[in-house]
Structure formats: C-alpha cells, structure tokens
Structure 1
Amino acid sequence: MKAVTFGEIMLRLAPPGYLRFEQAASFEAVYGGGEANVAVSLANFGVPAAFVTKVPDNPIGQAAINEMRRYGVDTAYMLKGGDRLGIYFLEKGASQRPSKVVYDRKLSAISQARKEDFDWPAIFSGADWFHFTGITPALGDSVAEAVLAACQAAKAAGLTVSCDLNFRKNLWTSEKAGKTMAQFMPYVDVCIANEEDAEKVFGIKAPDSDIVGGSLSHDGYKAVAEELKKRFNFTAVAITLRGSISASDNNWAAMLYKDGEFHFSRTYPIHIVDRVGGGDSFAGGLIYAMLSGFAAKDALEFAVAASCLKHSIEGDHNHVTVAEVKTLAGGDASGRVQR
C-alpha cells in the first residue's frame, strides 16, 4: 500500500516555550504543513508515503526536502522552483490565552505552481491513496487547478481520495472556499473535517453545539455528516470533536459515519504540549487504519488515539509508532514510565 499527499511545507518559527512574540529573543525552527504532516505520520506507521510540493531551489528549500527524507517520506516529487518557502510564526497559548499564528507565505514556491508542473499519472503509479486539504487550493487559483487535476488523475487511477476541509479564514473567504471546494468533492471518498469546517466551507452547521463554550452535540454532528453524505455522496465522513476547556486543556474525540452507521470514539482529556498538527495526525491515523483494513470503529479509535498522542509532542509532526497508538487505543492511558 502506498499513499500520496499534495500541499505546502512551511518553515515554522516559534518563541521558546510559552513566550509571546514581543518577548522573544530567538525563534525555534521546525518544518510542517498539513499534507506534509500526514505523509510523515504514514511513513512512521510503515506506509510508503510520497509528498508532492514545490520548494525554492535554495538551501532552505533543500532543508525542507531533507526534513521529509529523514522520516522516510518519498521526496522524488518535491519539485524545485520559485523564490521562497512559506513561513508561519507560532505563539503557543496557555491557560485562557489562545495560541496565535502569523503567516508569511505570500508568493511562496507552491503558490506559484501550475498543474503542468506535476505528472500525476506517474506520481500515482503504484499508489492506493491520495490525500489533500482545503489549505492547498486556498493558496491560489493555479494551485486549485493543480488540485483538481490531481483529483481527476487519482480517480482515473482507482485511488481512494481523502480531503480534510481545513478552512483557513486568513487564506480565503467562506464563499470562495465553498465554490472552489465543491469542484473537488465528486472525486473525494473520505471527507475529514473539524467541528466547524463544514459550516465555514459548505454552510452546514451542527445544531445544539457551542464551539466556544466547548459543548458539542453528538446528534448535531450526525446531522452534519448525513448532510455531507447526501450532498456529495462520500463513502465516509470523519469529524474531529474538540471540546475546548482552555488553551492548555481540551477534550478530544471524533465521529465516523460509514456504511450508514455512526461511530463515536472514546473522549480523551488532554493537557496540550503542542496542538498544531493535531488534525493532520488524525487524518494520518485514519488513512493508515483504513488502508490496513481496520473495521470502522477500530479505525476511528486508532485515529483518535494517534492524534491524542500528537498533542503531547512538540512540532508539527506526530512521532509515534503503531504500537504506541494501539496501546493507548486499547485503554492504557496511564502514561506510566516504560522501562
């Protein structure tokens, strides 16, 4: 089994610990990005994974390639061109102070990419799964055209296609997102969203839920999944459910709607070390489990456990093994020292 992901890899700069931007005398540098994070998760789980993108032909672009290569991701289709790698600055929140993200990604190499840059039939040769997020087409109309070409080629080659809606208000409006994303949905088999993506992108709101207050209605998200399935005929719909107590503590769970049945995971109370990449780690876990033939409920529990563990790990990537995820999914959440 082989998976392919397509998107942007960025340089992440963050003040040490919980310092605010104006306090920082230095920034810690790592690399990350939605589809890059998913590829790393899959490679860590033993799934051959290729990441497709475009990075500048300079030492920073090469460093991003090296970052993916060190985790076993196939970098053959990380093309070089353009002038710069996108950057985002992260200020980690704590207690009642929320995290903040500032983007510096305008005119990044991938945002200048065109569909002609990518030989999708060759890229998908021998692959079983294709994954992208709503962040990638938001980078520009030419990138959206490349995503559409990828979806069409993936479907023609018989791949399963998954999409994490991943709405980013700093990249585009809900109106533009809805119109653009609707073009891709006929090719998508597995739709992944968080508790507010469906509303922001497609105007489908969960009744009786208060995201800010941390109150999430199971029946409300059943209705969201049913409407998504009805509108786009997805094979499966997965929705992560984050109950926000504070920036430091959340309740974490998810729902999977597949074959006419609703499955809800156990809920994990998590104390957050780093929440960036939490949704990507869920997607990576779900893709791994589905590729491995897990039953729907087991696939959901694996994905939620994987993403629960990610919240304890610094950086964008999820550095966990299949065995560690299965231990947590099996009920051992004690956190006791392993000797």
Structure 2
Amino acid sequence: MAKIVTLGELMLRLSPEGNDRFIQSDHFRVIPGGGEANVAISLANYGHDADFVTKLPKHEIGQLALNAMRRYGVGTSHIVRGGERVGIYYAETGASMRPSKVIYDRAHSAIAEARPEEFDFDEIFEGAQWFHWSGITPAISDNAADIVKAACEAAKRHGVTVSVDLNFRKKLWTSEKAISIMRPLMQYVDVCIGNEEDAMLCLGFKPDADIEGGKTDAAGYHKIFEQMAKTFGFKYVVSTLRESYSATHNGWKALIYNGEEFYESRHYDIEPIIDRVGGGDSFAGGLIHGLLTKPTQGEALEFAVAASALKHTINGDFNLVSKEEVESLAAGNANGRVQR
C-alpha cells in the first residue's frame, strides 16, 4: 500500500461522560486526537503506511499522545520531541437541539512554537505518494504556517500528491487572516476538500446553496467547483454536504469534481449520532484511500462517505473501522445486523 504523510497537531480531548455538560462534570475522559492525526489513523486501518509528523514534549503527557498513534499502527519516527505542552481541547457532546461545544486550550503548544528547520522534510517525503494537511495547522501560529509551507514545497520536490482539508476554525483565526495564508498555499495542492463555509472563509468562494436552510442541492456547488479548479489548478475539488436536523440527527453526502465531470454520492441519514468529532477527518482519510485504490472518482467518493458515516457511530476522534466494514456499507449493507 501507499506511504502517506500527514502533518498537524496531536491534542488531548477532555470530554464529560455521555451527554453531561461541562459545569456538571467532576471528571473528564482523556481522548487523543487532532485533524491530521485522525486521517493517519484511518489510513493505517486501511492498510497504508501512514506516517504522522508533529512536535510533542518529551514528558509523559507527550508520550501518552505519541503512544496513541503507535497503538493503531501509525509511524511516529518523524515526530520531533521538545517544547513544553500538548494542546488541549474540551468537547461537550450535544443532544437533540442542544449543539456540541468545543473550548480550546492550545496556545504555546509544542507544534505551535516549532520551527521548520526542526523537520527534515526531504527525508520525510522519501518514497511517499501522498501528503495531507488541514487549514487547522497554519491557523495555530505563524510558525506552524511556515512549517506547512516548507512541507508543501518538499512534497512537490518529491513528486508527492498534496491534499488539504480547508477546515476553517473561527476560534483560531479570522477569515481575512485565513485567506491571506491559505490562498498562496493552494499552489501546492492537488486535492482540495472543504464544505461550503470552508471555501468561503478560507478561499473567498461561496456556493449557491442555502446551507442554514437545510438546502444542500449539489447543483449549487458546480459553478464554484469549476471556479476553484480553474483558479488554483486543483485536480479534484470535493465537498461534504451535511444537513443538521439536530445534534444527534444529520443527513450526509458529498460531491466531487475532477475538472471534467461531477459525481454526487448516495445520501446517508445518520441517527443517532454517537460522536461527530472527526467526521470530516474520516471522510478525508476515506477519500485519500479511495483515490489511491479505486478506478473511478465515484467509487472513491462512495468509500469516503461510507467511512465517515460509520465514524459518526464511534466514540472518540479516531475512525476505528476496517476497509472491509466500509466496503460493506458502501455496497448497501446498512441494516446493522449482528455479525456472527
């Protein structure tokens, strides 16, 4: 299988039990996770040689985070050790009409204060086929943005396919700052993944779709996909289309464009949602696997959407499903019968 490199921040998520609120909790579950780390876990589960790059402190909490990646078969040999802290985020799981809530405590984390020269990207990308990053990483700090740029430049020197999940986070930066950083980085990108909000806030493109009103007609995205591909030279433009009926009930599908034709996936009605954190990351991991192994963009997208639908049924950030389980759902086996 392919060697795939992902780069980003590995954090610790602290969550109340079940649907408890922060203010009523006297203890929290510790769950490692982070956008690009979640993608690496998915790809390792599908049999790829997934390598995660970040910086973590040398102390025991840093080791706890690193061990989480090793547990699921992700390569950690290029993780730099140093710095003072592991980023933390608190996540409260919503229910019905009460939305989930995230509070960040990640300032001055090890990767936020790392420098590009700490990473030997020419060595890291030796023999790699794919590099994935997300818009969360350059949003962490100017240093992290410089690291992403250095990684993208090295990936291109080595002929590596580059994908990005735009992943705008308003608690980390403004749209103006995002556009100023993200648009120049798009020159290195082959596969662009992002929903309607990401495309608008990170790149300045807005699809003709009423998302807040629950209208996610894929036809509203066609023109904007064409414009994005033309502007940045993307080989693929991809968007998930989420219909949020409540915190525990979503509609889920996706759209892909390869510069010639569009393909819209089947629609999944997901209820109840167990944990939607990492849903987009599981989609990105499934898409990368699909584009590397499937003969058509449609089959690649169906794998990605099925993988992400399954993630919504799993606690934690990681999508702990096998390739065979995803293939089964993508083939239409959605009855949830006990497997004996």
Equivalent residue number for residue 265 of structure 2: 265
Query: By how many angstroms is 1:67 displaced?
Result: 0.4
Return the alpha-carbon distance in structure 2 between the equivalents of residues 211 and 290 of structure 1.
27
CA distance in 1, matches of 2:241, 2:295: 21
Please name the residue that 1:38 is paired with. 39
Q: Secondary structure at the match of 1:111?
A: coil
- Per the TM alignment, residue 211 of structure 1 is displaced from its structure 2 partner at its CA by 2.1
Q: What is the one-letter code of the residue matched to 1:55?
A: L
Answer yes or no: is 1:138 the counterpart of 2:123: no
Any unmatched runs of 5+ in structure 2? none
Displacement of 1:224 in angstroms is 2.1
Corresponding letter in the other structure for 1:75: T
Other-structure match for 2:278:
277
What residue number does 2:163 align with? 162
Secondary structure of the 2:73 match is coil
Cα root mean square deviation, aligned: 0.8
| Distance apart, 1:289 and its partner CA | 1.1
Does 2:93 align with 1:88?
no
Task: Give me the identity figure in percent.
Answer: 58
Cα separation, 1, equivalents of 2:263 and 2:248: 27
Is 1:214 matched up with 2:214? Answer: yes
Structure 1: which amino acid aligns with 2:140?
L
Which string of whole-angstrom CA distances, capped at 9 and with x for unpartnered residues, describes residues 144-165 of structure 1?
1111110011011000000000
Task: Provide Cα deviations, 1:266-305, integer angstroms capped at 9, x if missing partner.
Answer: 0000021000000000000010111114311000000000
Query: C-alpha displacement at 1:6, in angstroms?
Result: 0.2
1:1-339 paired onto structure 2 within 5 Å: 1-207=2-208, 209-271=209-271, 272-339=273-340
Q: Does structure 2 conserve the Cα–Cα contact (< 8 Å) formed by 1:239 and 1:254?
A: yes
The answer to whether the 8 Å contact 1:148/1:183 transfers is no
C-alpha distance in structure 1 between counterparts of 2:44 and 2:336, whole Å:
24
Maintained 8 Å contact 1:206/1:217: no
1:193, 1:162 → 2: CA distance? Answer: 11
1:12–1:87 CA contact under 8 A, matched in 2: yes
Amino acid at match of 1:10: M
| One-letter amino acid of the counterpart of residue 171, structure 1 | L
Q: For the residues of structure 2 that align with 1:259 and 1:325, how far apart are their CA atoms?
A: 27
Tell me, in whole angstroms, the C-alpha distance in 2 between the residues paired with 1:294 and 1:73.
Answer: 26
- Structure 2 residue matching 1:110: 3-state secondary structure: coil
Deviation of residue 222 (structure 1)? 1.3
CA contact (8 A) 2:196 2:206 kept: no
Decide whether the 8 Å contact of 1:15 with 1:91 is kept in 2. Answer: yes
Query: What letter is aligned with 1:228?
Result: M
Unaligned ranges ≥5, structure 1:
none
- 8 Å CA contact 2:266, 2:302 repeated in 1: yes
- 3-state DSSP of counterpart to 2:275: coil
Verify the 8 A CA contact 1:213 1:244 in the aligned structure 2: no
Shift of 1:223: 1.9
CA contact 1:198–1:224 (8 Å) conserved in 2: no
Segment drifting more, 283-292 vs 301-310 = 283-292
C-alpha distance after superposition, 1:89-142 (max 9, x if no partner): 000011000000000000000000111011000001111000000000011111
Q: TM-score normalised to the size of structure 1?
A: 0.98
User: 2: CA distance between counterparts of 1:191 and 1:118?
Assistant: 24
Q: Could you tell me whether the CA contact under 8 Å between 1:112 and 1:142 is conserved in 2?
A: yes
Shift of residue 60 of structure 1? 0.4
Paired residues of 2:5 and 2:132 also in contact (CA < 8 A): yes
Letter in 2 for 1:159: V
Taking the aligned partners of 1:129 and 1:97, their CA distance within structure 2 comes to: 38
What amino acid maps onto 1:126 in structure 2?
Answer: G
